[in-house]
Structure 1
Amino acid sequence: MHDYTKEDILRMVEEEDVAFIRLQFTDIFGTMKNMAVTVSQLEKALDNRCMFDVSSLEGISGELDSDMYLYPDLSTFEIFPWRPQQGKVARLICDVYRQDGTPYEGDPRYVLKRAIARAAEMGYTLNAGPECEFFLFHTDEDGLPTTLTHEQGGYFDVGPLDLGENARRDMVLTLEEMGFEILSSHHEIAPAQHEIDFRYDEALVTADNLMTFKLVVKTIAKRHGLHATFMPKPRIETYGSGMHVNLSLDRGGVNVFQDSEDVNGLSREGYYFIGGLMKHMKAVTCITNPTINSYKRFVPGYEAPVYMGWSSRTRGPLIRVPSGKGVNTRIELRSPDAAANPYLALAVLLEAGMDGIRNQIMPPDCIDEDIQKMTPQRRAELGIQELPRSLKEAVEELEKDELVLDVLGRRLADKIIKAHKKEYHDYCMQVTDWEISNYLYRL
């Protein structure tokens, strides 16, 4: 995060020959939007005087007050390295405000900032580190995306098996040029699947970084003639793409999850945070896994979690406590995917965990067996529950969880629920290739 002033940005724009500035914001579905202004309008934008009409945006349409303002966050100013060196293009991530100067409660960035403020009242700061997986596929002769690939690379393979390594290298270099600290990048399990991990940061910075990360990955892939997709399950026969999220809480600069005397290296607050996540996980899943396709990833045998359990020793549960201890103590939630709106996802995860701390909710016992290989009888004996197996089930769980509804705000929650119900209804009306191949001939 940069500590820029208005004067700093005006000076850099002049020195770097910036011609366009993109004022970016995110809709409720996690899609990046923007309004571009020229340098002549930059001072107006920096004074929070850029109005835009939200009446046609998904999830916002229907607002009586449809004229709103974009308030740029000066710390997010970046110049796009891939644009021309003359007449460069820069961006500012913005918050959405109403005409009366109050934050728009349906702005996902505001929802996260509100959750962060609530935790700060108790002295806590959330740090989050995502692990983003994505596929690189060919495009057709019209430049449209396909699910085709020539490569057969697998976990940690290198070229020539890994045909996407050049594109991935350019993504990493571009991200670093934009201030990211890249921890690692590698080929994932499935052909054409990749992962790039960047350093954890405070929750709002991480959410902003996730939106920037997806933009960079897609942009650089296109420059290599490829299509990058964060779709959770684009191919039937192989693994899906997840976005594991590593979480820790600081208080006064100290990681409060750590306890060197505990068998799992966790403090009471760490256990309570897990307890809160487990309590609200079914409703949270509607936000962290927000599409029909998200639930195609929750299939036994493909590494994604299906059952709700936690462990510090096995790698396959819903929540894992990694081996790093002391200042590196953290909780890894393995169910989210990158289709999630990062602002809303981190907001509900933070508030669920804080509910655990406020109410001292202890999680179920640690399970150090492979849950997916257990018999149904053994899972029932241990009281292990399943994650929602469809978007419909997840929406139903969201509707029952008062805390998660409150985090989102009732109006925003209603819009999300309505949109997901329509999506599921439209999906149920489809006749798929599978149905044709299985029923057309024999029925």
Structure 2
Amino acid sequence: MHSPEEIQTIQQNLKDKGVKYCIGAYVDIHGIQKAKVVPIDHLPQMAAGSERYTGYAVDGLGQAPNDDELTSVPDLNHIVQLPWEPKIAWMPADNHFQGKPYPLSTRVALKNVLAQAAEMGYGMNLGIECEIYLLKQNADGTLSVPNPDDKLNKACYDVRGFVDSFSWLDKVGSCINDLGWDLYSFDHEDANGQFEFDFNFADALTSCDRLTFFRMMAKHYAKEEGLLATMMPKPFADKTGTGAHFNMSLYDLKTGKNLFACDPKDDPRGIGLTPLGYKFVAGILKHGRALCAVLAPTVNSYKRLVRRGAMSYFSWAPVFNSYGSNNRTNSVRIPAGGGRCESRNADGAVNPYLAAAIALAAGLEGIRENLDPGAPNEDNLYAISDEERSARGIEFLPQTLQEAIAAFAADPLIERTLGKELRSEFIKYKTEEWETYHLSVSQWEVERYSYMF
């Protein structure tokens, strides 16, 4: 909390930079931003919870029409002045209810689990790899790759495709660096029209705020180019899906030391993870099927989580609840050098606050219960037999949203972490999403069956 004097100082600094309006943006259960906008002169009131919302009007906030209103309280430690519109200051916000943090707010849920980690002496670092498509929306609403020269069968790391989209890439990359996020790499990804931005990890809350802002920022700069940027998990059946891999580690709150990092020579399994790190991984695997529901939270997500699908080569997507070293056929990977674990299930539709909350809770349970993930899997798991996978105890991740929801609903960790109401809201909205999809009639069905029968 900030004192009135501190808020006044922040307010004056923003005025000096030309800010006229403030957005205190919270997210719904899908991770979509919602907010009211106040003039800069009313920032102290907004910081005190002046902005009220009918929770029934927003997905996943669990209210009825007769309930008292929610408020949003902006986080004044994470303010971003919009680079493309400096009159506006954006800041992430938490929902409150009757003066207290609202447990159905997913950002609040993450903060609650971070507080549990802090009681154990841990903080959580999180790096999120942002894969994104830059596409053209056609008059009939379909999507296509705007660059006619970007058509290689394997377009990963393609230099020409990268340079041809440089105007948009430069805007996004410059914004990332200007905001101090430290862009250290970006490239043309595996699919035509697909790119990846990798910027430095931060504490979990900051990284989730950054992904939320990144989506809005990347879409804005694409619109300036007359194009559409999307993190939709699988926009094309025959092209690679959109990941948002979660790279996780715990650090010592007193020293800042990475508690997962060690010399691979000191690790009996040889991949550079401490015993604490392996326990964390074991917790992730124990709850891997339930966790998949929040890491891959849409109907479309499960068209990404396939071995091959309509593609001519393996999809790179994780389909097994397993871990290994620098082996991308596992859902949890320990990248070269160790010191972190990467959950590859996460896709571009993730609500980062919700997913990070469950992932951290699962990892902490692994530590508390002294769990062991077993030996790392180094084989191409796409290629080995079902019998061998079964013998190793490697199970499939859910293959549909419906299956993921069922795993989520059956796992006791979810209610312990989120509470009964937020758990129920997620199940309600995602069940409705699945049923609406399942009852719709696709063009594929029309083309296949209308002439057949």
Q: Does 1:256 align with 2:269?
A: no
| 2:75 alignment counterpart | 73
The equivalent position to 2:440 in structure 1, one of 422, 426, 430, is 430
The Cα shift of 1:316 comes to 2.3
| 8 Å Cα contact 2:136/2:143 also seen in 1 | yes
| 2:393 alignment counterpart | 383
| 2:204 alignment counterpart | 203
Q: Aligned to 2:388, what secondary structure does the other structure show?
A: helix
Query: Counterparts of 1:133-148 in structure 2 under 5 Å?
Result: 133-140=131-138, 146-148=143-145
How many angstroms apart in 2 are the aligned matches of 1:434 and 1:200? 41
How many angstroms apart in 2 are the aligned matches of 1:330 and 1:31? 28
CA deviation map 1:210-251 (0-9, x unaligned): 101111111111111110011000001111111111111111
Counterpart residue type for residue 297 of structure 1 = R
Q: Does 1:174 align with 2:175?
A: yes
| 8 Å Cα contact 2:162/2:188 also seen in 1 | no
How many angstroms apart in 2 are the aligned matches of 1:6 and 1:264? 47
| 8 Å Cα contact 1:135/1:194 also seen in 2 | yes
| 1:440 alignment counterpart | 450
The equivalent position to 1:280 in structure 2, one of 269, 282, 287, is 287
| 2:310 alignment counterpart | none
Query: Counterparts of 1:27-426 in structure 2 under 5 Å?
Result: 27-60=28-61, 62-63=63-64, 64-83=66-85, 88-99=87-98, 101-140=99-138, 146-149=143-146, 150=148, 151-152=150-151, 154-159=155-160, 162-251=163-252, 252=254, 253-260=256-263, 261-262=266-267, 263-300=270-307, 301-325=314-338, 329-426=339-436
The Cα shift of 1:174 comes to 1.5
RMSD, aligned CA: 1.9
How many angstroms apart in 1 are the aligned matches of 2:53 and 2:431? 29
| 8 Å Cα contact 2:145/2:192 also seen in 1 | no
CA deviation map 1:352-372 (0-9, x unaligned): 000000001101321111101
| 8 Å Cα contact 1:287/1:340 also seen in 2 | yes
How many angstroms apart in 2 are the aligned matches of 1:192 and 1:441? 34
The Cα shift of 1:442 comes to 2.1
TM-score, with normalisation over the residues of structure 2?
Answer: 0.92
How many angstroms apart in 2 are the aligned matches of 1:163 and 1:53? 45
How many angstroms apart in 2 are the aligned matches of 1:258 and 1:180? 22
Structure 2: give runs of 5+ residues left out of the alignment: 308-313
| 8 Å Cα contact 1:145/1:227 also seen in 2 | no
| 8 Å Cα contact 1:175/1:216 also seen in 2 | no
The 1:52–1:241 alpha-carbon spacing in structure 2 relative to 1, beyond 3 Å, is same
Q: Aligned to 1:269, what secondary structure does the other structure show?
A: helix
CA deviation map 1:142-188 (0-9, x unaligned): 9x673443332611112356532220111011122223211211110
The Cα shift of 1:54 comes to 2.3
The Cα shift of 1:391 comes to 0.5
Q: Aligned to 2:125, what secondary structure does the other structure show?
A: strand
The Cα shift of 1:315 comes to 2.9
The 1:118–1:61 alpha-carbon spacing in structure 2 relative to 1, beyond 3 Å, is closer
How many angstroms apart in 1 are the aligned matches of 2:47 and 2:328? 47
Number of aligned residue pairs: 434
Q: Aligned to 1:55, what secondary structure does the other structure show?
A: helix
Task: Report the identity percentage.
Answer: 33
How many angstroms apart in 2 are the aligned matches of 1:345 and 1:172? 25
CA deviation map 1:395-428 (0-9, x unaligned): 1101110012221211011011011111111111
The 1:432–1:141 alpha-carbon spacing in structure 2 relative to 1, beyond 3 Å, is closer
Q: Aligned to 1:434, what secondary structure does the other structure show?
A: helix
Structure 1: give runs of 5+ residues left out of the alignment: none
Q: Aligned to 2:77, what secondary structure does the other structure show?
A: helix
How many angstroms apart in 1 are the aligned matches of 2:17 and 2:326? 51
The Cα shift of 1:283 comes to 0.4
Counterpart residue type for residue 230 of structure 1 = M
| 8 Å Cα contact 1:55/1:66 also seen in 2 | no
TM-score, with normalisation over the residues of structure 1?
Answer: 0.94
Counterpart residue type for residue 314 of structure 1 = N
How many angstroms apart in 1 are the aligned matches of 2:390 and 2:56? 49
The 1:384–1:96 alpha-carbon spacing in structure 2 relative to 1, beyond 3 Å, is same
| 8 Å Cα contact 1:53/1:68 also seen in 2 | yes
The 1:93–1:161 alpha-carbon spacing in structure 2 relative to 1, beyond 3 Å, is closer
CA deviation map 1:243-290 (0-9, x unaligned): 111111111322111233112222111111111000001001111111
CA deviation map 1:53-108 (0-9, x unaligned): 3231112253453412221111112211101x5xx111121111112x11111101
CA deviation map 1:370-405 (0-9, x unaligned): 101111122122221000000000011011100122
